[in-house]
Amino acid sequence: MGGGDPCGSPPLFFFLIVRSIVTDVGEGPTTSENAEKKPASRYTEDDFETLISDEQIRSRVVELGAEITKDYAGRQNELVVVGVLKGCMLFMADLIRHIDLPLACDFLRVSSYEGGMRSTGVVRFEFDLTQTIKNKDVLLVEDIIDTGLTAGFLIKNLGIREPASLKIASLLHKPARTRTPVEIDYLGFTIEDKFVIGYGLDLAGLYRNKREILALRPDRA
Per rule CB under 6 A, is residue 149 in the interface with ligand IMP?
yes
Segment 71 to 90, residues that bind ligand IMP, using CB under 6 A: 87
C-alpha closest to that of 214 among 206, 201, 106, 114: 201
List the x/- string, 96-135, binding to ligand IMP by CB under 6 A. -----------------------x----------------
What is the 8-class DSSP label of residue 78? P
- To the nearest 10 degrees (0 to 180), the angle between helices 89-96 and 54-72 is 50
Per rule CB under 6 A, is residue 184 in the interface with ligand IMP?
no
Residue 2 CB, nearest distance to ligand IMP (Å)? 47
| Cα 214 from Cα 142, distance rounded (Å) | 17
Catalytic residue among 94, 137, 143, 146: 146
Helices and strands (H and E) in the chain: how many? 5, 9
DSSP-derived 3-state class of residue 40? helix
The residue range among 72-80, 98-106, 139-147, 161-169 that interacts with ligand IMP, by the rule CB under 6 A, is 139-147
Size of the site for ligand IMP (CB under 6 A): 18
C-alpha closest to that of 212 among 94, 56, 61: 56
- 106 has catalytic annotation: no
Active site residues: 146
Q: Kindly list the residues in this chain that would bind ligand IMP in the complex (CB under 6 A).
A: 32, 87, 119, 142-151, 195-197, 201-202
